[in-house]
Copies of this chain bind each other. A is one copy, B any other.
Amino acid sequence: MSASHGEFDLIRRHFRRDQPLRQATLGIGDDCALLAPSAGQQLAISTDLLVAGRHFFADVDPATLGHKSLAVNLSDLAACGARPLACTLSLALPDIDDDWLQAFAAGLFALADAHGCELIGGDTTRGPLTIGITVFGEVPPAQALLRSGARPGDGIYVSHGPDQGLGDARLALHLLLQDQDLAAWPATVRDQLLQATRARLEHPQPRVALGLALRGLASACCDLSDGLSGDLRHILDASGCAALLQADGLLQAASPALRLQDTSLALSYALAGGDDYELLWTAAPEHHEQVLAAARSCGLLATCIGQIEADSGLRLQQADGRIVPVDATAFDHFR
């Protein structure tokens, strides 16, 4: 890996570890890293670029940033049903702050170690704070979960922890940003909501174990990064299908903290909030019980939020039975 710009010591000081490599043949310190998937397996590869001021606050706690930068990438592997192997890290830094780097590395390595994901290379340079991570996982041939396999009649599922739900992360972000639309609530309510949801924004847990458990069960899968309605559309586009969501199912999967405050807002955040890093998948009806059991085996809930249909488009059946196109539903909050 190119250790250019005289910052080789930076990599060595903060990102090179003494422990022997387990996944890779060659790690940090040469022009390339060397990695081989297990015999017969494919490598699943994903890359994300995070920019200060857009994906995170420039003054965010560096350990939190280290965690989240890797988490959003591991979430892509989870969505694919791949087992994490390794990652590379590219960092542009406005200046060299050893304390910051040490904390960033600690946050990143804690999550990496929890998932058996080795840092095998990288590049550092001066520049506006930017983090580029590429992750590598392995998956047996034809077992990767793709976006393109949804079929009419399949159920649509999302994962969430028992006391967590869709929209948690975006709610925390809006509370931190002191969003006008939430200003009507008393400060104590806002504080409680932020306390309940902040970890979901800052320390998302990639659903790697669930992705593995859904191999052979899910017909299509992606992770929730941009918000349910947008992410589901990727599955619908790739699969050539339509979807009918059920408002009551969606509410079950929505942020519990927000649901207690405002049902309508909870539905809106569940549909359009981003950054949840849960899995969104489809499965044939005969796999329903196995799907629920797969999630339970990972300490998670799988909630059925609707059904895949023929044709195209995304619709929502409201609690009163009316069916509305999701486009026409009001999500002014996110436009």
Contact = CB atoms under 8 A, between A and B. Distances in A.
Given A90-B47, A90-B49, A79 B32 contact: yes
Interface in A35-52: 35-37, 41-51
B120 A49 contact: no
B32 A82 contact: yes
A139 interface: yes
A252 B83 CA distance: 51
Contacts of A127: 49, 51, 53-54, 128, 130
Contact of A92 (B44, B130, B139, B148): B130
Copies in the complex: 2
A33 B45 contact: yes
A91 interface: yes
Given A32-B79, A35-B42, A54-B126, 15 more contacts: A1-B76, A2-B76, A2-B225, A26-B146, A31-B80, A31-B147, A31-B222, A31-B223, A32-B82, A36-B41, A49-B124, A49-B132, A51-B128, A92-B130, A128-B130
Interface of A: 1-6, 8, 25-26, 29-37, 41-51, 53-55, 72, 76-77, 79-80, 82, 88, 90-92, 120-128, 130, 132, 134, 136-137, 139, 141, 144, 146-148, 221-223, 225-226, 230, 234, 238, 274
